[in-house]
Chain A
Amino acid sequence: MNNKIRSTFKGGLGQLTIPLIAIAILFLFNLIRDPGFFSIEITYNNDGNAVLAGNLISVINGASELAVLAMGMTLVTAACGGQDISVGAAAAIAGSAFVKVLKSGSAITGGTVILAFLCACIVAMLFASFNGTLVAVFRIQPMIATLILYTCGRSIAYWINGGATPTVDSPIIRAIGSFIPGVPIPTPVLIVVAVTILFMLIFHFTSLELFTQSVGINGSAARLNGINSTLIKLLSFIILGFCVAVAGIIGVSRLELINHETLLLDVEMDAILAVAIGGNNLGGGKFKIVGSIIGAYVIQILTITLYAMKVSSTDVKAYKAIVIVLLVVIGSPVIKAKFAKLMSQLKSNKQRVSMKGAE
């Protein structure tokens, strides 16, 4: 495991350069703008627990849903060479199912929460298999295939709870969405850590990583090596389905309410961008989950920074778009090649200078 982590950084820093630089620049920018931006303090929340607070906490907490979705999206992107644009709508369905089950019992106990979580997972995975079947079996472009659920997903979510926006008032749900009593770290952050570990374990105990990359890079060769590419693609969607359920449940628990129209609205764009910023090829193939997670945090720091600067939230999207265009362009092969050329030129110049110096 240790070896694996080391190799992740050894082999992967190239891919992670852009997102890491982006994070560094955003940090620096904020430090200059407001040195207090990164102060973290301990406050007591309204339940009387000591909890951490500050912009940094808001960033890692707020990016939780996005980070979880970006992990799943990375797999789908790698295997299918396309993206699932229905994750927001599917999360609304999963969240609605979660609340539906919670509300079906008389009281919300730990048992009902687990049951509701399982139901939400199953529902999300079923819808994901629908997407996956269209992509893997019927060979429909992922974006086109998932456009169907993107369009009708929130209507389906509407039917589940009969159009209402029911609330769930329960200490357990509050613990999931904000803080577990006695733990100063926001629970969604812990969930992201747990999901990340889960992914690591899956990669460690199965051949998912190798097979997914093979299918994504060269489907024909993968098939001739006995890999069932249909199954791998379907599996990537089902895993994304799990991520969708988790993200949906975090979203619901944060507010203790399901609003099928606004839950994780437009999150699919951010999730795809997180994958792209993480240096993963949107055309499929080699991938790094870590990159996508960092990408999610880059997007969130950006959002929080803009809010802290009191940029009107209608303008936030425009600013975000500018920064993201910059990041994606800088990461593009054309610029990379140009940059490499420049560097080698500089190097040879330097050598010439030092040679002159030697003379």
Chain B
Amino acid sequence: MQDKVILQMRDIEKRFPGVLALSGVDFTLRKGEIHALMGENGAGKSTLIKVLTGVYQMDDGEITVDGEKVAIRSPQDAQNKGISTVYQEITLCPNLTVAENMFIGRGNGVLVKQKDYEKKADEILGRLGIPARSRQQLGSCSLAVQQMVAIARAVDMNCKVLILDEPTSSLDDKEVNLLFELMRNLKSRGVGIIFVTHFLEQVYEVSDRITVLRNGELVGEYLTEELPQVELVAKMMGKELDELNSLGESEEKKMENGEVFYEAESLSSSDALPFSFNIHKGEVNGFTGLLGSGRSESVRAIFGADKIGGGNVKIKGRPVKITRPIEAMKHGIGYLAEDRKRDGIIAELSVRENIILALQVMNGFFKPISRGESEAFADEYIKALNIKTASRETPIGSLSGGNQQKVILARWLLTHPDYLILDEPTRGIDVGTKLEIQKLVLKLAEEGVSVTFISSEVEEMLRTCSRLIVMRDRHIVGELKGKDLNQKKVMETIAGGEAGNE
């Protein structure tokens, strides 16, 4: 492996209104290496990529390509400087031929003969070992091949740096192998590849080096062979927590002696594989696992949010049927969805209307909450949760993320649920609000409410949950409680290094 650096990013900083998306991030890519860029959601991976490809302009820092300091002003600019990107979704035209796709939009003002570029396309495809013909319609190729054509197009544009953003997420194993072969082929030709993915195994199979980001900051750069999988997970999730503190609290929260409130046996939905689960009255438990491990899909199944496949559900020991959200709500279950914008807020409606929505639905169509009552509810919760809003009639869409989240929380608290599912309630909100929400969860538990808490920050879950259900590849792979509730054990179980099932 040559150690010649082709791309160097130093001290990159990028701000968005109210958020510091990247701060002091370094990234170095060498010639002929596959470099994995890792981090959980919101770690700053995509922001870094977008800075590199000219979609965003950095606020501070320096980029050098081939030792030359450059300013990248637009994606076109990036391409001209030899930085190409192939995105997760194919951005080519399926109804054009492979050759057309490879050369489209690259007119140099000179008319190119169809035969000429078809010949050239075949040559490149052959050289890279891509199983496609130049005159084939792109749509008739498999997804993997389409992706490869996109790569071939990028490579032919004289790229030195190739960015592959989640290229494998829609491919099957065989296709992934094909893609890896192509990546190795390109590597041997001296192309530097930045590989963004969520799949740990793939990182270890193909990459030479790993850079980990967390919360917009650089955690470190490591040689793949020197970084065990467990440590990688730990680095991605962060572990600078006060373990004593967590232990002390977990002492208090052991109150699993209450009756079982909810119980599911091989429950499945259109999106979740069968799983079994229960929660006691006043218990706080959590689902953990990497993104895509199936943790959200499982809790959605509990709430009836997706089409239910099968399984038996009992509430307080009595068998019930929950196939739609309204049925779950009638049984005292509330669900704060993972994607606040898509599944939570009704953006144009007021804070007041957003707060009363779930209660109103439960009250029924013909028993509207009166204006006065709803104003009282809104005022009560705006005060109780310290929601910062101009007035109760302000559209929720104009509030900050944290305050929007509090409004949605208020919505569910107002229904006085027996069991509350909170999927990533703290994502994308400021630290102060995060702590408020965690405290609120513990307070609810004291009052006898069962809570399932999901967060991509493990320390948060360790602080609040008395039991952690660990998922990997859409299966439950472990259940941790008591003294097993520590960062190390969680990491091991997630990574599957020591088969942490007891």
Within 8 Å by CB, do A and B touch in the complex? yes
Docked-complex contact A223 and B325, CB < 8 angstroms: yes
Task: Indicate which residue in B326, B328, B335, B360 contacts A210 across the interface (CB closer than 8 Å).
Answer: B360
CA distance A222 to B325 in the complex (A): 10
Tell me, yes or no, whether A138 is within 8 Å of chain B by CB: no
Q: Which residues of B contact A32 (CB under 8 A)?
A: none
What's the nearest-Cβ distance from chain B to residue A208, in Å? Answer: 7
Residue B368 interfacial (CB < 8 Å): yes
Known: A206-B365, A207-B360. A226 touches B343 (CB 8 A): no
Option from A205, A206, A227 in Cβ contact (under 8 Å) with B361: A227
Complex CA gap A286/B353 in Å reads 12
Residue of A nearest to B367 (CB): A207
Judge if B499 is at the interface, Cβ distance under 8 Å.
Answer: no
Which residues of chain A are within 8 angstroms of B255 by Cβ–Cβ distance?
none
Task: State whether the Cβ of B344 lies closer than 8 Å to any Cβ in chain A.
Answer: yes
Find the A residue at minimum CB distance from B329. A226
The interface residues of chain A lying within 8 Å CB-to-CB of B16 are none
Q: Which of B303, B305, B347, B365 contacts A207 (CB 8 A)?
A: B365
Tell me the bound Cα distance from A140 to B368 in angstroms: 30
A residues within 8 A CB of B156? none
A3 CB, nearest partner CB in chain B, Å: 6
Instruction: Judge whether A217 is part of the interface by a CB distance below 8 angstroms.
Output: yes
Bound form: Cα–Cα A88–B221 in Å:
69
Q: Does B362 contact A (CB under 8 A)?
A: yes
Contact present for A214 and B368 (CB under 8 Å):
no
Evaluate whether A208 and B326 lie within 8 angstroms (CB atoms) in the complex, with A220-B342, A220-B343, A221-B345 already known. no
Q: Which residues of B contact A205 (CB under 8 A)?
A: 366, 368
Give the residue of A3, A7, A208, A225 whose beta carbon is less than 8 angstroms from that of B357: A225
Q: Mark B357-374, 1 if CB is under 8 A from A, else 0.
A: 110111111111101100
Neighbouring B residues of A285 by C-beta, 8 Å = 348
Contacts of B357 in A (CB 8 A): 210, 214, 225
Q: B368 contacts A217, CB within 8 Å?
A: no
Residues of B231-273 contacting chain A, CB below 8 A:
none
Whole-angstrom distance from the CB of B109 to the nearest CB of chain A?
35
User: Cβ of A226: which chain B residues have Cβ within 8 Å of it?
Assistant: 324-326, 328-329, 358, 361-362
Q: Mark B311-339, 1 if CB is under 8 A from A, else 0.
A: 00000000000001110110000010100
B393 (CB) vs chain A CBs: closest residue:
A11
Shortest CB-to-CB span from A27 to chain B, Å, is 31
Cα–Cα, bound, A205→B360 (Å)? 12
Could you say which of A217, A221, A225 has the most chain B C-beta atoms within 10 Å of its C-beta?
A: A225
With A4-B371, A227-B361 known as contacts, the answer to whether A221 contacts B346 (CB < 8 A) is yes
Q: Is the CB of A225 within 8 A of B366?
A: no
In angstroms, Cα B326 to Cα A285, docked, is 22
B135 to chain A, nearest CB (A): 37
CA distance A204 to B401 in the complex (A): 32
Tell me if B93 is interfacial: C-beta within 8 Å of chain A: no
Q: Which of A3, A218, A224, A285 has the most CB of B within 10 A?
A: A224
Q: Which residue of B lies closest to A223 (CB)?
A: B325
CA distance A17 to B343 in the complex (A): 32
A217 and B343 form a contact (CB under 8 A): no
For the complex, what is the distance from the CA of A224 to the CA of B357, rounded to whole Å?
11
B70 within 8 A of A: no
| Measured CA separation A286–B363 after assembly (Å) | 22
Residue-by-residue, is A190-211 near B (CB-CB < 8 Å gives 1, otherwise 0)?
A: 0000000000000011111011
* Bound Cα distance from A104 to B396, whole angstroms: 56
Q: List 28 A-B contacts (CB under 8 A).
A: A3-B372, A204-B368, A207-B366, A207-B367, A210-B356, A211-B360, A211-B361, A213-B346, A213-B353, A214-B346, A218-B345, A218-B347, A221-B337, A221-B342, A221-B344, A221-B345, A221-B346, A224-B305, A224-B325, A224-B335, A225-B357, A225-B411, A226-B324, A226-B326, A226-B328, A226-B358, A227-B326, A285-B348
- Known pairs A207-B368, A214-B346. 15 more at Cβ < 8 A? A7-B371, A205-B368, A207-B363, A207-B364, A210-B353, A210-B360, A210-B368, A211-B361, A211-B365, A217-B348, A221-B342, A221-B344, A221-B346, A224-B337, A286-B348
Can you list the 8 inter-chain pairs with the closest CB atoms, starting with the nearest?
A: A226-B326, A226-B361, A207-B368, A226-B325, A226-B329, A286-B348, A217-B346, A214-B346
